[in-house]
Amino acid sequence: MRDLAETARRWAAEGRAAVLARPLTERGFGARQPADAMLIDSDGQYTGRLYRGAFDQRILAEACAVPPGHTARVCEVAVHQEGVAQAGLTCGGQAEILLQPLGAVPPRWWQLLAAGADVALVTWLDEGRAHAVSAVVTPQEAVDGPDVPPQAAVQARSLLARHRAGREVHAADAGLVLVETCPAVPHLVVVGGGELAELLVAQAGLLGWQATVTGVGRDAEELLAEHPAACLIMLSHDPDVDVPTLRTALTTGVPYVGALGSRHTQARRAAALLRTGLTEADLTRVHGPIGLDIGARTPAETALAICAEVLAALGG
């Protein structure tokens, strides 16, 4: 969904009629990106993708058939086992696709997505699924938009706190509520260079994350402040770099703090951090030895173990 933001804002500024398409309910299909969506204009031009393009033509036709005055339309799509290979899917499935005119989606949703912020969209559909009302939910701010069920806003914030993108549908009085979460993309701040740092950048790329390598503590602290989902990977053993940077991460709520090093290095850092005023409880947030214990031996395996641990930590 986040990759549609700039196009959505441009089309809205141009006054172009368009429809946002994304799953309302689904069964099967196997693993896929939970935030996939399509944006379709009245001429049939589109951006984004659903189900590897298996239903593009059907969705395009349905988008053009949204009745005037309706703020929602729901269509059903399905692929059976014989069509799985042709569609390039791992297994068959069926889904209900919600089609919502671009003008019915709050502009702030696209603004926050483009800015890389943590944000959720709560959409209420009436019983006939012909009308929808959407509101923007962020971790701290009041709900931006029409009233939505309070429990839906609570659920949206809970999902954002787990840093995982997704969609959930809940029954509500006289309709359904769709909760869509787009958390900020994790950004690995890797302090220290070498082969492991390069492999962490590569592994982050495979996950759709961002990563920056720096050897300067001051730069690392600025990066931690700039990115809402920044995660610190401390590879440097320089006391003038690792201690102040670790302290910054621990005192500013960075969701993941990991530090590479031997027992002696970990003990040296811990003692230095305690002298700065941190507590033993603060130090328990440092993952060290860094990475999940998967028996990693090579730098590539270590990079995988570190990113797996970041993923587990962000997911709670």
Task: Collect all residues with Cβ–Cβ distance below 8 Å to 162 and sequence separation of at least 6.
Answer: 183, 314, 315, 316
| pTM score above 0.75 | yes
Percent of the chain whose pLDDT exceeds 70: 94
User: Which tokens in the block code for residue 90?
Assistant: 């791992």
Q: Is the pLDDT of residue 143 over 80?
A: no
More confident residue, 233 or 125: 233
Residue 173 DSSP code = T
Domains of the chain: 2-182 (no CATH), 187-310 (3.40.50.720)
Q: pLDDT tens digits, residue range 238-247?
A: 999 999 999 9
- CA distances to 153, 180, 241 from 150, rounded to whole Å, are 5, 15, 45
Cis before residue 289, ω within 30 degrees of 0? yes
Q: What is the pLDDT of residues 12-25, one digit of tens each?
A: 999 999 999 999 98
Both ends of the chain: CA-CA distance in Å? 23
**Beta strands, E only, the chain:** 18-28, 38-41, 46-48, 73-79, 93-101, 119-126, 132-137, 166-172, 175-182, 187-191, 210-214, 230-234, 256-259, 286-287
C-beta of residue 106 within 8 angstroms of C-beta of residue 145: yes
pLDDT tens for each residue of 177-212: 999 999 998 999 999 999 999 999 999 999 989 999
